[in-house]
Amino acid sequence: MVTGSEGQLGRALVNAAATRGMSVEGFDIDTLDITDAGAVREVVGWLRPRILINCAAFTAVDDCEKREPEATAVNGRAVAHLAAASDLAGALLVQVSTDYVFSGTAARPYVEDDPPDPISAYGRSKLAGEKAAASAREHLLLRTAWLFGHGGNNFIEAIRRQLEEGADELRVVSDQSGNPTYCSDLAEAVLELVERRARGIVHVVNAGSTTWHGLAEEIVRRLGSEVPVRATRSETLGQAAPRPACSELSTAKLEALLGRRLPDWRDALNRYLESACAH
């Protein structure tokens, strides 16, 4: 069972599970409101899944800052409903979390045991979701970052759109670094971790890191454009929510569990662009 199945990661998970021959049911806000405890209990009780993967989330970071109670209801308390329902059904709860649970002040990639210290409402709400997921008897908590995938808006499509609209130059922040992650690669890793009976917290991102500016430069280059990408600083954007300056995640635990690392983000970006163009 996949909640948030119409999002980029939810779509990738449903497709990956079906390709593996797994029986999979997807639910999104139009078929299941996860903030409704009774509805969650009814649907999970009827379906009785072996695995429940929660991709549903309030992910608009700046909106979360203005609507923190709503963000906490979706990203935090609703996960407690899923955890309780998972226990009743005897299911494994897989909760998808974020690098934004960290402050971004570390001088190295974050490991799973580092204490969370979110600096935004979004990060606080997702940390509440982590704590709620941990109440499930069987749980796997995955932190990921900077997602891009098919079927939704993402940073790559935002850059492509600006180029198509004839932008003379792009201005992108260069003082935030992280791990761009392709939803298709993430979905395969999630299912493999489930098959290997992984539990607890695992960081799952594509290999390598960059800044948003570095990512934008690579996107522009691969799209064959010569539009310059100018570096700017976060404070110039006037965003409502603060962002971690360096939220890179260590994948040492993931590599030990899978015996491999996920492909480099540049390789993932190339495959995404090729697939997007093909469609």
Give the 3-state secondary structure percentages of the chain, helix then strand then coil, rounded to 5: 45, 15, 40
With the C-alpha atoms ordered 170, 105, 80, 87, is the resulting torsion angle positive or negative? positive
Which is catalytic among the residues 110, 122, 182, 272? 122
Parallel, antiparallel or unpaired: strands 139-144 and 147-148: unpaired
Chain centroid offset of residue 158 CA: 17
Distance CA 244, CA 27 (A): 31
From the centroid of its chain, how far is CA 71?
Answer: 15
100 is catalytic: no
Phi-psi region of 210 (alpha: psi -120 to 50; beta: other; left: phi over 0): beta
Which positions are annotated as active-site residues?
A: 122
